[in-house]
Structure 1
Amino acid sequence: MTITKYTYIRTLLFILTIILHSCVPTKTVRSAKKTMPNQFEKIQKDTLNSASISWKEFFADEKLNALIDSALANNQELNIMLQQIEVAKNEIQVRKGEYLPFISYKAGAELEKASKFTRNGAVEENLPIHEEEAFPDPLPNYTIGLNVSWEIDIWKKLRNSKKMAVMEYLSSVEGKNFMITNLVAEIAETYYELIALDNQLRIIDQNLEIQQNALHIVKMQKQAARVTELAVQRFEAELSKNKSERFEVKQKIVEIENRLNFLIGSQPSSIVRNSDTFMELQMDSISTGVPSELLINRPDIRRAEYELEAAKLNVKVARANFYPSFGIKAGIGLSAFNSKYLTSTPGALLYNLAGDLVGPLINRNAIKAAYNNANSRQLQTVYEYEKTILNAYIEVVNELSNIENLQKSFENKNDQVISLTRSIEISNKLFQSARADYMEVLLTQRDALEAKVSLVQTKKEQLAAKINLYRALGGGWR
């Protein structure tokens, strides 16, 4: 009779599980598209890829490399990210512990006085025992033992949850690598911007010297009645204008220095740098490899891929919530009303063993909503992954075009600077011989200054474009 009863219960549970399984919703989310062109536009296939080069090799300036080294050790945002990685790493252990048995120990002592009008009190009152064998009143109780609880992970909900934590940890590691890539690029770009400002300041100083000499000549010519006071005032105004610009550039230098100090986690101080050879500075040509290598070299793409895997696992976890969970609870210990009997076995021995099956049956709306949300988040990460890939490809194409156009622009501007530099000397000689108006001298000096500053700016943009191409290819984090 008992065997038949247990068989009936097992059969009923099996049928119930089949029914619940058939009622679990299923959604299919499309796979992410990873297809990329075979080569970058207007660039032939290259077996080499500059992204594999360490930033210490890519940047030849030792002072710049020292700044990057300092930033990797002291940058606050990077250190915050490192702690987030530790949190994600610890979360793996938390999830891992959830599918292992929980064992706890217990030791306790209590004192109870039962009323005579309760079951326990009435039983003790009417026990036919001798006075020396009577229970103490009030009744103490001493207990020591172990308790075990374990949720059997039949549907792999807990294991998938742990795998999801692993994916999130790996995603945080790639997030750190992506931050390093951007940090290295930002420091290098800011460093060259600082050097460019130094060169702009030098150009302004050289131009101020030329203008001082021109003003001196104009004043002498006024004394000789060859020009009027108007010419003197125009030269003085131009001189004052450039002096004002000089202070603006000096302020920018202070701000850029402090920006670098912030990135390296340092108090405001002067940045040691190489400014003298800025205009002759060259970077080696960058090898782009093939577009598909972006999937490997770009940390943000790998981060998006891990986030996509975590989202897939989250869907499995959400789906497993529709199934019943199986749990086992057990305990063993010793209990006695007198401590001297506590070690007397089997009299003081107690134990228990229980198993349960719990699952949702009616009103599963919350579980359905969580499952639908998990599917929506998975589709969201699919779009995010595809967007990251597309953005990476476009960044590389843009910087390749930028480098080419900046090179042509630099060549033309350099020719312009050469011509205007010569024209300054020519205009001064013509002015002294009364064959040119003083406005021609002023305009020539102004045009030459603007052209030289623009040439420095273009040089800075050239360096920044190569840095950004190196970053876009996935270099800088190794």
Structure 2
Amino acid sequence: MNTPLKPATVAISLLLGACSLNPPYSRPEAPIPAQYPAAGSEAASQPASWQEYFTDPELQRLINIALANNRDLRITALRIEEARSQYGIQRADRLPSIDATASYERSKMIFARGQSFDVDMYRVGVGISGFELDFFGRVKSLAAAALEDYFATQEAQQTARTSLIAEVAASYINVRALAERLALAKETENARNLAYSRILRRQQAGLDNALDLKTAEMQLETAQASIAALQREYAQAVNSLQLLAGQPGLALAAAHGSLDQQEFSPLPAGLPSSLLERRPDIRAAEHKLKAANANIGAARAAFFPRIQLTTNIGLVNEHLTNLFSGSSDKAWAFTPQLTLPIFNYGRNQSNLDLARVRKEITIVEYEKAIQTAFSEVSDVLLSREQIEAQIASQTRVANADRERLRLAIRRYDKGVANYLELLDAQRSLFDSEQQLVQLKQLALTNSINLFKVLGGEWQPS
């Protein structure tokens, strides 16, 4: 090959390598309404970081520990490294690899008269082996698909990170709620213990009968059984939280105060559905759609000729010691190879059909991801007002039961009411207080779910 033609050949290769057979990409329309059913007119805002949303110092400590030690999150991070390496391999295929070679050949030459002699040949050189001139963008499309898969894996890590933060927060709230319910159960046990002692004195004085004393004893045992059950649930909840944090046996700070003191940064109800585009799982679905689009381009390029280039330049000598002495012969090789598909039993067409079908599947998966996200956010927003209304009603019920118990105790002490009336008031107050704590836990969990379904921490647009 003439030397003046080499730059032109390289320029043409680079120019044609910029071609692409990928179909034009356009984002599918989101198959959801523009607003959520419970959306209002407030401006949408969302915390830039989870620290701005979860302000409890102990909860922040636990989340930080979980982000550093949770094994599932570590696996997701390693998946990112795997996808990054895969993209690096595909991207490297777009550039020629220059390799150094060294070889030794010993052969026997036989002539017609029966004469023969041995020939030793030593070779060293550098060259390019099997580099594909990407005229129709096949390698470029494969590299683009690998890049989009890498981006999708990054978004999957963000999804896992947001889910872990929400799970730790929900587990922490569960521990706090069980601690408060356990404290209420112990208060009930103390009250029933005092009631049992009072009835015992009254029975000894002939004011109450043995049935009332036995009933009070049974209620005291019931309260102690409730404490044992709540202690078991509390221990299991602590174990679950420690597992999420990635540190079994991790000490938890003692909870102070009720769930009323546990607050998160408020999020308004006026949230347009377009905010779902910020969810990492939806962004990951779109990256997968772009990867499927690039794979179609690679499948189309398979119908066109593939040109591979192999070159080598080096030195040849019969003696190893003289290989670099200046007496060696210069050798070079230039081997372009053209491969044109003629008949392969429809393999290329089937690969193209497969790539198109996979893109259609990915479109449907993208649309389903949007609809699922819309449904999740709608469920959280719709249940928020109902939970608040339930808490308000249950608070009034608990206050009424508390007043009823106070009056029942006065009536019982004055001999106006029997023990069954006092017992019913105690049981009613215990149940209403337990339900109120559970509703407060549900409200906090709802706020955690809202943080999660909106995609967690917002990234810049």
TM-score normalised according to structure 1 size: 0.85
| Equivalent of residue 272 in structure 2, options 291, 306, 321 | 291
Give the Cα–Cα distance (whole angstroms) in 2 for the partners of residues 157 and 196 of structure 1: 58
- Conserved? CA contact 2:276–2:374, under 8 Å: no
1:74 and 2:69 matched: yes
State the 1:29 CA deviation: 11
Give the Cα–Cα distance (whole angstroms) in 2 for the partners of residues 227 and 237 of structure 1: 16
| Equivalent of residue 127 in structure 2, options 136, 147, 150 | 147
State the 1:159 CA deviation: 0.7
Give the Cα–Cα distance (whole angstroms) in 2 for the partners of residues 202 and 340 of structure 1: 90
Letter in 1 for 2:110: G
Which stretch shows the higher mean deviation, 168-177 or 426-435?
A: 426-435
Partner of 2:6: none
State the 1:402 CA deviation: 1.2
| 1:146-204 C-alpha deviation (Å, 9 max, x unpaired) | 23121111111111111111111111111111111111111111111111111101100
Partner of 1:18: none
| Equivalent of residue 215 in structure 2, options 234, 252, 255 | 234
Letter in 1 for 2:127: N
Give the Cα–Cα distance (whole angstroms) in 2 for the partners of residues 388 and 291 of structure 1: 17
| 1:309-346 C-alpha deviation (Å, 9 max, x unpaired) | 11111122122222221111122222222235535778
Partner of 2:104: 109
Which stretch shows the higher mean deviation, 35-44 or 376-385?
A: 35-44
State the 1:35 CA deviation: 5.2
Q: State how 1:170-319 maps to structure 2 within 5 Å.
A: 170-288=151-269, 290-319=271-300
Largest Rg, 1 or 2: 1
- Conserved? CA contact 2:144–2:294, under 8 Å: yes
- Corresponding residue SS for 1:161: helix
- Conserved? CA contact 1:177–1:477, under 8 Å: no
- Conserved? CA contact 1:181–1:477, under 8 Å: no
| 1:320-378 C-alpha deviation (Å, 9 max, x unpaired) | 22222111112222222223553577862222212221132223333333322222221
- Corresponding residue SS for 1:141: strand
1:454 and 2:443 matched: no
Q: How has the CA–CA distance of structure 1 residues 370 and 346 changed in structure 2, closer, same or farther, with 3 Å as cutoff?
A: farther
| Equivalent of residue 57 in structure 2, options 57, 62, 70 | 62
Partner of 2:8: none
Partner of 2:43: 47
Partner of 2:332: 351
Letter in 2 for 1:145: G
- Conserved? CA contact 1:341–1:348, under 8 Å: no
Letter in 2 for 1:95: Q
Q: State how 1:384-399 maps to structure 2 within 5 Å.
A: 384-399=365-380
Letter in 1 for 2:65: S
- Conserved? CA contact 1:78–1:176, under 8 Å: yes
Give the Cα–Cα distance (whole angstroms) in 2 for the partners of residues 271 and 140 of structure 1: 77
Give the Cα–Cα distance (whole angstroms) in 2 for the partners of residues 94 and 77 of structure 1: 26
Letter in 2 for 1:121: I
1:121 and 2:101 matched: no
State the 1:124 CA deviation: 8.8
Q: Structure 2: where are the runs of 5+ without partners? A: 1-20
- Corresponding residue SS for 1:154: coil
- Conserved? CA contact 1:38–1:290, under 8 Å: no
Q: How has the CA–CA distance of structure 1 residues 273 and 86 changed in structure 2, closer, same or farther, with 3 Å as cutoff?
A: farther
Letter in 1 for 2:95: L
Give the Cα–Cα distance (whole angstroms) in 1 for the partners of residues 121 and 85 of structure 2: 40
- Corresponding residue SS for 1:364: coil
- Corresponding residue SS for 2:111: helix
Q: How has the CA–CA distance of structure 1 residues 436 and 231 changed in structure 2, closer, same or farther, with 3 Å as cutoff?
A: same
Give the Cα–Cα distance (whole angstroms) in 2 for the partners of residues 86 and 462 of structure 1: 38
- Conserved? CA contact 2:313–2:332, under 8 Å: yes
Q: How has the CA–CA distance of structure 1 residues 214 and 347 changed in structure 2, closer, same or farther, with 3 Å as cutoff?
A: closer
Q: How has the CA–CA distance of structure 1 residues 280 and 148 changed in structure 2, closer, same or farther, with 3 Å as cutoff?
A: closer
Residues matched between the structures, number: 438
Which stretch shows the higher mean deviation, 249-258 or 201-210?
A: 249-258
- Conserved? CA contact 1:335–1:350, under 8 Å: yes
Letter in 1 for 2:91: K
| Equivalent of residue 391 in structure 2, options 410, 418, 422 | 410
Which stretch shows the higher mean deviation, 252-261 or 158-167?
A: 252-261
| 1:126-148 C-alpha deviation (Å, 9 max, x unpaired) | 5xxxxxxxx8x543221111231
- Corresponding residue SS for 1:147: strand
Give the Cα–Cα distance (whole angstroms) in 2 for the partners of residues 289 and 169 of structure 1: 34
- Corresponding residue SS for 1:371: helix
Which stretch shows the higher mean deviation, 307-316 or 41-50?
A: 41-50
Q: How has the CA–CA distance of structure 1 residues 61 and 97 changed in structure 2, closer, same or farther, with 3 Å as cutoff?
A: same
Which stretch shows the higher mean deviation, 460-469 or 340-349?
A: 340-349
| Equivalent of residue 316 in structure 2, options 317, 332, 335 | 335
| 1:246-303 C-alpha deviation (Å, 9 max, x unpaired) | 1111122222112221112112133115331423434443125542442442111111
Task: Give percent identity, aligned residues only.
Answer: 26
Which stretch shows the higher mean deviation, 437-446 or 464-473?
A: 437-446
Partner of 1:20: none
Letter in 2 for 1:65: Q
Give the Cα–Cα distance (whole angstroms) in 1 for the partners of residues 328 and 172 of structure 2: 81
Partner of 2:87: 92
- Conserved? CA contact 1:37–1:291, under 8 Å: no
Letter in 1 for 2:245: I
- Corresponding residue SS for 1:146: strand
TM-score normalised according to structure 2 size: 0.88
